[in-house]
Amino acid sequence: MSRNETLRSLSRPAPDVYISADVEADGPIPGPYSMISFGLAVAATYDGRTLARRDPEATTFYAELRPISDEYDADALAVSGLDRDRLLREGRDPAEAMTAAAGWVRSVADAEGGKPVFVAYPLGFDWMFLYWYFVRFSATGSPFGHSRFLDLKTLYAARSGETVARSVKGRMPRHLLSRRPHTHNALDDAVEQAELLQNLMAWKGPEDG
């Protein structure tokens, strides 16, 4: 390697390691309500120039958690199809699960030589629950820091020229969407969402079809 190539290599930033995240919860906010499951899937890396896709089924993390309060919203709980009574008996301890998840995130990012970036569509709900749980329960805190995240809704709005309110999947070009079903299983949906990320990152906008 020449001296110039070495300098370019040393100055190149660590790539983003995109980790698609999906959450199922039994209410609208963490604390009074509980995150009952979450899924994480490594979707891609990006070094500012090149997007390198990953098979989103290849490297994943999934956990079902014991609820942390007695409060729940029956409609929110029904979305996931999970049995709350079973989770109270068999769900993973939040401290154990979040510490394990934080270690997993850091491990897969280190394996890629990059920094983990949290990805969701839309971001707010999933980030709110997972960040709160990482800070509250993980022995090592949030592996994403407090700001390493990417909202796919905002990304689509910026690429398409649409308003945020109109940046919904029903208005997106079909080729951007995953062909996988949206099942409300957190891991299934994290994998599906990873493919949306891959397609959006490669898309240049409406002129690209």
Q: Give the mean model confidence (pLDDT) for residues 93-101.
A: 98
Q: What is the pLDDT of residue 1?
A: 46
pLDDT of residue 64: 98
Over range 163-183, report the average pLDDT.
Answer: 95
Domains and CATH numbers, the chain: 16-208 (3.30.420.10)
Spell 35-67 as b/e; 16+ CB within 10 A means b: bbbbbbbbbbbbeeeebebbebeebbbbbbbbb
* Bridge partners, residue 17, by sequence: 45, 116
Q: What is the pLDDT of residue 113?
A: 96
Whether the pLDDT of residue 206 is over 60: the answer is yes
When computed from its CA atoms, the radius of gyration of the chain, rounded to whole angstroms, is: 18
The better pLDDT of the pair 3, 115 is held by 115
**How much is the pLDDT for 8?**
52
Q: Are strands 60-64 and 35-46 parallel, antiparallel or unpaired?
A: antiparallel
What pTM does this model have? Answer: 0.92
Q: How confident is the model at residue 79 (pLDDT cuts 50, 70, 90)?
A: very high
Q: List the structure tokens of 85.
A: 């009574």
